[in-house]
Chains A and B, each alone.
Chain A
Amino acid sequence: MKKRFHAFHTRVFATVVLVAVVPIAVCLMLMLPLLIASSDRRQAQSAGEQLEAMQAQLGAVFEQTDAMLDALSRRVDGEEDGRALYEAMVEAASGCTYVENLYVLAPDGACVEALRGGEARMDTDWGILAMAQEDTVFAPSAKADRIDAARKTREGFVLARLDGDALRAMLAAAHDSSCGVMLLTPQWRLILETQTAGASLAVLRERWLDGEALGQGDVNYGMRVEPVSGFTLLLSQPRTFTAETTRTVVLLGASMGALSLVLCVWAALVLSGVISRPVQEMTRAMARVQRGELSVRITPRTNDELGLLAQGFNRMVEEYEQNLRRTVERQKELDETRIRMMQAQLNPHFLYNTLDAMKWMGLTHGVPQVATLAQDLAKILRTSISGEEFVTLGCELELLERYIDIQLIRFEDRFACEIEVDDALMNLLVPKMVLQPIVENAVIHGVRDMDDGYIKVYARQMDGELHLFVQDNGRGMETGQSGALSFGVSGKPGEHLGLYNVDSILRLHFGDAYGLSIRSRPGEGCLVEVRLPARPAGSHTKGGKA
């Protein structure tokens, strides 16, 4: 399955949105309901307190009225004297500020005495008198905006008419100005109301009968039944969090969210630009490097991690370029060496046949030295033209002996050569013809003009390395060639072409850690050391080179 590509700016945008917009949304979705619930709870509590206060005040009025009617009913029973009756009524009504009028009625509803004049007769089969019992009952008066309280006596009724305006004022003072209260009969018919707020009573009554919540929308309702009269107090309280307020808050939150979303888009673009532009530049530069344009460099724009990255990239490309150049140069040198070696080769078969002919002529003509020379040379030649690059140390030493035999004949035994190598090392691999050029150098530049020249070849194995030494007691190297004479990569072949070639071959095979080193002082001989990894035959792997 293909892995989906997520553009960097998309991820930056998502992150920024997560950080900026989500808290606002969470705040709005979580805090707003909490806030509304808390406000509603507080309001409900306040409504409860207001209702409590109104119920208490109303109850006090009704209880006072009840007590007054009770006292009056005792006084009027059996009272014949009109004046005494009136005085009793005046006395009873005194102190009852809400009493507008007071009536003493005959059993048929005819008015016997009224405190402030008024109706001549009341219905006994309708309204309050139809309900009146030994205890005081309360009902809305037939006269609008009044409440009647009546009680049956032995000789008719006593009835107090309470002033609705005064009661309304009392209730209005007991609730918040924003609220309204309705005083209702037990079946929720309106007696009086302080101010209209919210739904009509008809609607509320329907809700109540349907068992629905009274408060729907922007007004809450609280109710309390006043126990003395049985009337219901219904408080309407506008909600603090109306639908409109909530809408406004949500709108505000939403616009804040939208604003931060816009800011997020902007920030995401800027941020991703800051980061992705250098990255894209680097990607392009890398593609060019892959195509081989090593001259590509990035100009660091900023002094931050991205700047460091750009610098690092530049360094990396530089090093890669140098490395490549070095490799190419090395390859070129190797090729040159090979060309030189090939130029040095003659047609080997012709030489070999010639040498064979010379050997037999030497034997036939009784010149054994010629036969020996020809035979040794043929041997050297055969080895040198064989295709193998590595030979065992034993084989190399045998070749060296042949060469020395030739040189001894040539120089009429004016030098001696000694080979001292432990048999254990004979099986180690060395590059072919690695010792011959060194010994040749020792013969030609060291001991050729001496009568008692001495060349010693010996070998040591240390720390996994094989050290071959060629020591002579010849005239040594001239000043400047001695000591740390090195045939490194930058070394010049000069007159010691053989040494240079050996050193080159070693370094190319095994790396710069290996090669030749020469210790010498003019007139005191010379010691050439060959360092190479000790590898026994059979583990024939080509030497590692970086």
Chain B
Amino acid sequence: MKRLVLILVCAALLVALPGLAQENAPAQAMRLTVYTSHKEEVYRPVIEEFERQTGIWVRVVEGGTAGLLERIRQEREEPVADVMFGGGVESLMAYADCFAPCDAGGAPLRLDCTFEDGRFVAFSRLPIVIIYNRHLVKTPPQGFAQLLDFPGRIAFADPCVSGSSFTALATMIQALPDEDVPARLLEKAQVLPDSGDVITAVAGGICPVGVTLEESARKRILDGEPIGIVWPQEGTSAVPDGAAIIAGCSHPEGAQAFLHFILGEAVQRRVQTAFARLSVRSDLAPEGEEAQEGPLCAYDIPWASAQREAILARWRMLTGEDAP
């Protein structure tokens, strides 16, 4: 009799327990950890849409590109992240040994956005453009050569501080091989501490013209600032940022799915519209009134990386900082 009661109680518990227990946490296969150096306004809609469409739970860890890449290198034995989302391709290139081979899922990519290595994919392109104040400037400079001859101060962020400003400087050096760009630029430049200050300076009329990323300029134009964009006639650089799968990660399939997703048409179209960047797909034309893509020069990323210290040293010498 006692045994019967015991069995009944056990049975009741077995029936009742699953009812009492909470829902279970998602299965391992349905998880993905993403390290991103993008701003929230970029990564959040992408990741939420990815979750919605795949049902995968994404964990996001935000940080600076350099910090996250270093962290990935330190975690190489036991990777925490599955995907690195963001960071210029030159940075990703430097950490290629931390990444697993990946594919673009058959997306038609631009030639300048495919990499032989195959350890990362490009996500969006960030062209360097000339901006000007619409109220102050009636005939803006059409290229870097005209810019250097333009009467008036040029808003330019300190390339020693701002990565995008260094890219702008290196682009100008490559676009004007016959000029001593740093010296000529410094004659006219108003050197600003941060790349964001360039647009503020131009929009506020402190400087009539400036050099900065097209993305930032387009966003501020959408906010109603009186800024115009000029695509330099010499051609400019559009260094892509990328994404990669971490070598030895726990969820390689989900990571690959994420890469396919961000290269998909839906996301790439948003890269051009909502994020004010340029797509890496060859089948998507720039959208929007201001987004008229101009000529590109053959920007040599490895050269820029190699010459970085030399260029910056010269810059510092010219500005009088850190004089030998």
Contacts and interface: CB of A to CB of B under 8 A. Distances in A.
Nearest to A126: B266
A316 B48 CA distance: 101
Contact of A185 (B25, B51, B269): B51
A208 B25 contact: yes
A290 interface: no
Which of the listed residues A126, A185, A187, A208 has the most CB atoms from chain B within 10 Å of its own CB?
A187
B52 A139 contact: yes
Contacts of A185: 48, 51-52
A188 B60 CA distance: 13
A348 interface: no
B25 A225 contact: no
A223 B25 contact: no
A187 B58 contact: yes
B22 interface: yes
Interface string A111-126: 0000000000001011
A130 interface: yes
B45 to A, nearest CB: 8
A126 B270 contact: yes
B49 interface: yes
Contacts of B22: 222-223
A209 interface: yes
A187 B51 contact: yes
A126 B58 contact: no
Contacts of B55: 186-187
Nearest to A208: B25
Contacts of A206: 59
Interface in A173-223: 185-189, 206, 208-211, 222-223
A131 B53 CA distance: 7
B23 A225 contact: yes
A130 B266 CA distance: 10
A515 B97 CA distance: 130
A223 B52 CA distance: 20
B113 to A, nearest CB: 21
A185 B25 CA distance: 14
Contact of B266 (A125, A187, A222, A232): A125
A186 B55 CA distance: 8
Interface string B296-317: 0000000000000000000000
A49 to B, nearest CB: 14
A187 B59 contact: no
Interface string B265-278: 11001100000000
Nearest to A225: B23
Contacts of A211: 25
Nearest to A213: B22
A219 B59 CA distance: 23
Contacts of A543: none
Nearest to A230: B55
Interface string B156-175: 00000000000000000000
B260 interface: no
Nearest to B50: A187
B43 to A, nearest CB: 13
B52 A209 contact: no
A523 interface: no
Nearest to B273: A123
Nearest to B55: A186
Nearest to A137: B52
Contacts of B26: 209
B324 to A, nearest CB: 49
A131 B266 CA distance: 13
Interface in B46-93: 48-49, 51-53, 55-59
Contacts of A130: 49, 52-53, 266
Interface in A208-264: 208-211, 222-223, 225, 232
A522 interface: no
A125 to B, nearest CB: 4
Contacts of B53: 130-131
Contacts of B270: 126
A127 interface: yes
Interface in A31-88: none
Given A189-B48, A209-B57, A125 B25 contact: no
Contacts of A225: 23
Contacts of A189: 48, 51
Contacts of A186: 51, 55
Nearest to A130: B53
B22 to A, nearest CB: 6
Nearest to B54: A187
A409 B36 CA distance: 155
Contacts of B23: 223, 225, 232
Given A185-B51, A208-B25, 11 more contacts: A125-B269, A126-B266, A127-B49, A127-B52, A130-B53, A139-B52, A187-B55, A189-B48, A209-B57, A210-B25, A211-B25
Interface of B: 22-23, 25-26, 31, 48-49, 51-53, 55-59, 265-266, 269-270
10 contacts: A125-B269, A130-B49, A130-B53, A131-B52, A187-B48, A187-B58, A188-B57, A206-B59, A209-B59, A210-B25
Interface of A: 123, 125-127, 130-131, 139, 185-189, 206, 208-211, 222-223, 225, 232
The 10 closest A-B pairs by CB, nearest first: A125-B266, A187-B51, A211-B25, A187-B57, A126-B266, A189-B48, A208-B25, A225-B23, A209-B59, A223-B22
